[in-house]
Amino acid sequence: MNKPLIVNSWPHLHTKESVKRIMWLVTLSLVPTGFMGVRIFGWNSLWVIAISVSAALATELIFQLLTRRKITLGDGSAFLTGLLLAYNLPPEIPFWIPLVGSFFAIAIGKQVFGGLGQNIFNPALVGRAFLVASWPKYMTNFTRPFNYDAVTQATPLALLKEGSLEPHLSYLDLFLGYRGGCIGEVCIWALLLGAAFLLIKGYISWHTPFTYIGSVAVFTYAFGGKTGLFTGDWIFHLLTGGLILGAFFMATDYVTSPLTAKGQIIFGIGCGILTSVIRIWGGYPEGVSYSILMMNAAAPFIDRYTKNRIYGSK
Amino acid sequence: MVNLKENKHRTEHKQIESIPAPKRAYISLNQQLKKSFSPLVKAGDQVLKGQKIASIKEGIYSAIHSPISGKIFSIQDSPHQVLGKGKAIIIDNDFQEKSVATYLRTQKEIDSLDAQELRAIIRETGIVGLGGAGFPSYIKLTPPRPIHTLIINGAECEPYLTCDYRIMLEKTEEIILGIGLIARCLGAKDIYIGIEDNKPKAIEKFRSKGQGLKVKVLKSFYPQGGEKQIIKNITNNEVERGKLPFDSGVVVQNVGTALSIYEAVYLNKPLFERVMTVTGSCLVNPKNLKVCIGTPIKELIDFCGPLKENPAKIVIGGPMMGIAQNNVMTPVIKSTTGVILFNKKEAQTTDEEPCIRCAACVRECPVGLMPCMINLASIKQLWPQAKDFGALDCIECGLCSYVCPANRRLVQSIKMAKLEAIV
């Protein structure tokens, strides 16, 4: 016992959980939907994913080198941002779109705020919003599923907005992901598989995603119909667009969502109402990413008014 | 609340053993009270086992008694488990075992004692709370308002520690008699003993022997044995913020305290020894030991040796709230519950990473705080904000730091904020 003893403060035990582990497990939960995206839209999707992820990692590295911070590429957070951005992109886009998008997501969405944990907005969605605003033409150019020669088609939501929805699109097609859309958002069952994994493992709680999806269902059922109140096709609204991807994987982003269960419920309902409003009355066919970004801005405010009850207080 | 890996298997089946009194005892004059004790002896004096050797006169009275007979070597600075260093009375053991004249009280005598006389005995024998806080028991037994509920804390929610469990098994009758004495001091009608469900044998024993004692089986999770938690889980009432259990008519006492109150009253024995757990993966023979106050932890470790590997960290107390030591000569004080030796792998320290707001700390905090937010306020030295988030309500159980995936020093920064916010 001659060696010096380690002296540090309590507790002297620690959970096996780490930031790194959480990030990579969330990434793992996103693999099925990416796999299905590539299957449905072809190899080009894989390129989009690869470019987006590499650009995110490179941007993170450059920023950490420039600011002389610890290099933390291994923690998986930049990888996850790149992956989520790719999942929010159409499969047929010029290669520089994911490149610019990921750069913007990491540089402006995350690093300028101070890096991991400091950003107000979900970085992947910041990247996507930037791309939609800058190059709307590319961002709304969707490929027909299983048509690997890049025949384009509008998304079901866009068609709904124009009032020219193809009637042959069944709920089953939507559930299986056989429709135009972004790489990671189309295959509902694969998304639910990943979401179930995260819920069971306790990495996300039900509060945000369930209230989000629930409020979209109620709102679109009530106001989404063309023939009056309570005639909306809410199942269609749940299965199309980026709702499932957004509700389970983007709105639940730890950094940009509220801390308490109460706060997360408010956050989810807020996202749901904003998404429905944009879809039904807004200028865009889809509102998931903007509604999450808007609620991100409200998260600190929600936190302030939804503190947990402290033991012994009235 | 979290189910921790308990690691109680190393010692839970081992009977309490007595370790021989040390050659030299270091009786610390600081036993975790605000004031330190004044010695009643000087270097060169002969003392007897059980003789009062130090006391606190002003403020809260308490006394320390010699665990051995021998000669005072000196009164000088010695290692201390919390303060690092503090004055201690050093006694050289003459191994004569000469005790102060004492006698056993008869049952009749004890039955005739009133609450005031009982408290006087508990006060004079230097009984303190043995759960870790070390607060003089007679104060808790002199409530300013009527007490309806007495809770005996047998939860022992800290991992590794098994000393309370062993005394519950081996000294059941004595503890029950001690509980009776406490109840008499308080006039409490409802008497509960709370035991976690990972100690079925202890539950069984108290169910079969404790008449009038309501045995409450508690779920095993940390920090079930915290005073506020056990009150909530047994009485379904909470202690109001900023108030004491007294104020809601409840008193909580540890099982070890009940045992030492029994010994004080029935055997006329001052508190100069206690049962504690010496454990950890480094030890070949971890044990539950009956130890004289003032024994350096080195002797306890040697007694449980040989070492399988060199410890990288030695903790006094439980692994969640215990204090890491830098000196193996640190002596046992009245409130020492255990010594744990961690090997290199277990003691590995981790770097702090940025908070990702995963809210694990918010979910697990047993008093409903937002530790990550207090942490941010504390780092920026925004003490009023830290107070706003409830820093003063923190019970320092350490669960937030335990669950934090970013290894943030949450409870430490909250404690900091607590100290600053009070000033």
For residue range B19-62, list pLDDT tens digits in order. Answer: 999 999 999 998 766 778 899 999 999 999 999 999 988 778 88
Chain A residues whose CB is inside 8 A of the B319 CB are: 11-13
- Give CA A19 to chain center in angstroms: 19
Least confident residue range of A295-304, B35-44, B274-283? B35-44
Could you tell me the pLDDT band of residue B400, with boundaries at 50, 70 and 90?
very high
Given pLDDT bands bounded at 50, 70 and 90, which one contains residue B135?
confident
Q: Which CATH architecture has domain B16-101+270-345?
A: Roll (3.10)
Give pLDDT, residue A164: 64
Predicted pLDDT of residue A285: 82
Summarize pLDDT for A138-177 with one digit per residue, the tens: 888 787 777 666 567 778 887 777 766 655 678 888 899 9
Residue A26: how many other CB atoms lie within 10 Å: 24
Alpha carbon distance B89, B72 (integer Å): 7
Kindly tell me if the per-residue pLDDT of A292 is higher than 60.
Answer: yes
Q: What average pLDDT does chain B have?
A: 91
- Give the C-alpha separation, B243 to B390, whole Å: 14
CA distances, B301 to each of A12, B344, B346 (Å): 19, 17, 18
Please compute the mean of the pLDDT values over residues B351-364 and round it to a whole number: 93
- Looking at residue A289, its pLDDT comes to 93
pLDDT above 70 for B377: yes
Contacts of A4 in chain B (CB under 8 A): 326
Location of structure tokens 């090997």: B343
Of B310, B322, B347, the CB nearest to A10: B322
Give B362's contacts in chain A (Cβ within 8 Å): 259-260, 308
Determine the angle formed by the axes of helices A19-29 and A31-41, rounding to 10 degrees.
30
Q: Which of residues 239-298 of A touch B (CB under 8 A)?
A: 254-255, 257, 259-261
Hey, which residues does B250 pair with through a beta bridge? Answer: B149
Residue A167: predicted pLDDT: 59
Cβ distance B179 to B142 under 8 Å? Answer: no
pLDDT of the residue at B272: 93
Q: Measured between beta carbons, which residues in chain A are less than 8 angstroms from residue B403?
A: 15, 17
Q: Which domains does chain A carry?
A: 19-302 (1.10.3430)
Q: What is the mean pLDDT of residues A64-93?
A: 94
pLDDT of B94 reads: 92
Write the CA distances from A103 to A54, A95, A109, A122, A129, integer angstroms. 10, 13, 9, 14, 13
pLDDT band at A252 (very low <50, low <70, confident <90, very high): very high
Identify the pLDDT of residue B2. 74
> Which value, to the nearest 10 degrees, does the dihedral of the CA atoms of residues B25, B28, B32, B34 take?
160
CB B261 within 8 A of CB B171: no
**The pLDDT of residue B192:** 94
Average pLDDT of span A50-56: 97
What distances in angstroms separate CA B128 from CA B33, B119, B181, B268, one per listed residue?
10, 12, 15, 15
CB B382 within 8 A of CB B417: no
Contact B388, B345 (CB under 8 A): no
What is the model's pLDDT at position A86?
97
Mutate to test the interface with A, among B350, B352, B399, B401 (most CBs of A within 10 A): B401
- What SS3 state is found at B99? strand
CA A104, A106, A112, A113 dihedral sign is positive
Residues B56-111: pLDDT tens digits? Answer: 887 788 899 999 999 999 999 999 988 888 899 999 999 988 888 888 888 999 99
Lowest average pLDDT, out of A156-165, A239-248, B6-15, B239-248, goes to: A156-165
Tokens of A103: 């750069």
Calculate the alpha carbon distances from B76 to B35, B72, B87, B92 in Å: 17, 11, 5, 14
Please tell me the least confidently modeled range out of A190-204, A260-274, B334-348.
B334-348
Checking if the pLDDT of A130 tops 90, the result is: yes
User: Element (H or E) spanning A301, and its range?
Assistant: helix A288-305
- Domain ranges, ordered by start, for chain B: 16-101+270-345, 107-266, 360-422
Q: What is the mean pLDDT of residues A77-104?
A: 95
* Residue carrying structure tokens 């808007």: A294
**So what's the pLDDT on residue A147?**
65
Where residue A4 falls among pLDDT bands split at 50, 70, 90? confident
Which of A227-241, A268-282, A295-309 shows the lowest mean pLDDT across its residues?
Answer: A227-241
Mean pLDDT for the stretch of residues A276-298: 92
Cis peptide before A98 (omega within 30 of 0): no
- Lowest mean pLDDT across A21-25, A32-36, B109-113, B132-136: B132-136
Helix or strand holding residue A132 (H, E): helix A123-134
Interchain CB distance below 8 Å, A259 and B313: no
pLDDT on residue A118: 93
* Mutation choice for B interface testing from A13, A67, A70 by most B CBs within 10 A: A13
Q: Please answer yes or no on whether A22 and B370 come within 8 Å at the CB atom.
A: no
* Chain A contact set for B367 (CB, 8 A): 310-312
Confidence of residue B350 (pLDDT cuts 50, 70, 90): confident
Residue A148 has a pLDDT of 60
Task: Give the closest of B313, B405, B409 to A5, CB-based.
Answer: B313
Over residues B237-242, mean pLDDT:
90
3.90.950.20, 3.40.50.11540, 2.60.40.10, 3.40.50.920: CATH of B107-266: 3.40.50.11540
